[in-house]
Amino acid sequence: MRDTLQTLLLHQQLTDDAQIFLQALRSEDFVHAKGMMTDIWQQMGLPEFQSMIRDEMPVFAKSTATFVGLIMDDGQEAVVDAFLYFSNEKWAACDLAFANIGQEWKVNRLGLREIDWSIEPFSSSQPALSSRNESLEIEG
């Protein structure tokens, strides 16, 4: 059983890891981002991973800042809520799911939720949406 201090330390670690992961996506450092993910993601080739992120979630490269909020964990899995901010004063919520692999936490799912705004300034191929969910997950 974890005590309060251990939980706080874990949540700080997950906050830091989420910030680093999202910064890697923002700066298109796909090698680093992919390296922070579970083994099933490691099986995907780097060109396919880059293409998937660029095609499915182009807003990561357009974000200018990230705020990491609520973290929930059960000791084996954790979900981290984060908010991406953009230069046009818009924002989007996303979540990262981490899995505890041995003694290391790795990203195993990335979800993006666009809330109450159009991503039109970022991707001309996307329709204006008031709410949309997009997730990248590999079943393993």
Query: What is the per-residue pLDDT across 124-137, written as a single tens digit (0 to 9) for each?
Result: 444 333 334 455 66
**What is the residue-wise DSSP string for 82-128?**
EEEE-TTS-EEEEEEEEEEETTEEEEEEEEEEEESS--TTT-TTSPP
Higher pLDDT residue, 139 or 124?
Answer: 139
How many angstroms from the chain centroid is the CA of residue 42? 16
Query: What is the per-residue pLDDT across 37-59, written as a single tens digit (0 to 9) for each?
Result: 999 999 999 999 999 999 888 88
How many Cβ atoms sit within 10 Å of the Cβ of residue 59? Answer: 21
Report domain extents, the chain. 4-137
Higher pLDDT residue, 140 or 114?
Answer: 114
Full-model pTM = 0.80
Given this structure, which CATH class describes domain 4-137? alpha beta
Note whether 42 and 108 are within 8 A (CB).
no
Strand-strand pairing, 91-101 and 77-85: antiparallel
Q: What is the DSSP-derived secondary structure letter of residue 134?
A: E
